[in-house]
Amino acid sequence: MSLQGPKAVDILAPNTSGDVPGLKFFHQMDTQLFDRDVMIARVGYSGERGYEIYAKPEDAPQIWRNLLDAGKEHGIQPCSFASLTPVRVEAGLLFHPFDVNEDTTPWEVGLGFTIDKNKGDFVGRDAVLAKEGKERFMTRGVSCPSDKPIFEGEEELYRDGKKVGTIVTSAYSHRMKKSLAFAYLDPDVTEGATLTVGKNAGAREVAVEDLPFYDKKKKRLRA
């Protein structure tokens, strides 16, 4: 179960035996939640402070019900998996296999920092390092102020009549009042550029942004 948002810590802390407020970002701990053994990890796909709860299947229903009861005063809401898409796009979080997959390289999707060149040998080391500096495209954000979604996915993006990229994943941000999307763009198309969705006269203009769109310095995530 995933409990996400700035109030997640206030819901968990009074009901666990461990130090949830002191749990660092990307760390986990074994503890008890509502007197049930669980592992709590401070992670999530929301771009907010949040936690994932790992429990035995037989304990999950009770934990779920107790979480909803404990979170009433904080405005807790059950959400489907689909609700992750807008917030993860706002936060610039990629999802396999839609945004990153076996056909992309780490540098093309902004994950070059995950490759440790000083680690020594590892499976695929020579193959992946040979791809650095040969990026066919770069993953960047494109946005457009709007009152409803304008992207469906796979739209072609143009600059001065030349195709320079393709929309990959899109979402509408209600809090930013913008249509957002990840796009594979030619490497020379950088933040601040203006592109058009299609090349017909009157085609809608979109702005290129470096990711993430929201909370650029990720302060909320690490709060």
- For 71-112, write each residue's pLDDT tens digit: 999 999 999 988 999 999 999 999 999 999 999 999 999 999
CB atoms within 10 A of CB 150: 18
Give me the long-range contacts of 154-163 (CB less than 8 A, separation at least 24). 155/197, 155/198, 156/197, 156/198, 156/199, 157/183, 157/185, 157/195, 157/196, 157/197, 157/206, 158/195, 158/196, 158/197, 158/198, 158/199, 158/203, 159/189, 159/193, 159/194, 159/195, 159/196, 161/199, 163/199
Asked if the domains at 2-79 and 92-209 fall in one CATH topology, the answer is no
In the chain, where the domains are located = 2-79, 92-209
Tokens found for residue 51: 């936690």
CATH T-level topology, domain 92-209: Elongation Factor Tu (Ef-tu); domain 3 (2.40.30)
Q: Looking at the predicted structure, is the pLDDT value of residue 47 above 90?
A: yes
Mean pLDDT of 162-179: 97
- Reported as a pLDDT band with limits 50, 70 and 90, residue 118 is very high
Half-sphere exposure of 3 (CA within 13 A, CB side): 27
CA dist 131 and 67 (Å) reads 46
- What average pLDDT score do residues 185-201 get? 96
User: Cα–Cα distance between 47 and 111 in angstroms, integer?
Assistant: 17
As a whole number, mean pLDDT of residues 123-137 equals: 95
pLDDT of residue 223: 85
Distance separating alpha carbons of residues 53 and 32, to the nearest angstrom: 11
Q: What is the pTM of this model?
A: 0.91
Q: Above 90 in pLDDT, residue 41? A: yes
CATH number of this structure's domain 2-79, picked from the four choices 3.30.530.20, 3.30.1360.120, 1.10.10.1110, 3.30.230.10: 3.30.1360.120
- Which residue do the tokens 């509502």 mark? 34
Strand arrangement, sheet containing 28-33: 2-4, 50-55, 36-41, 28-33
Structure tokens at 209: 């942004």
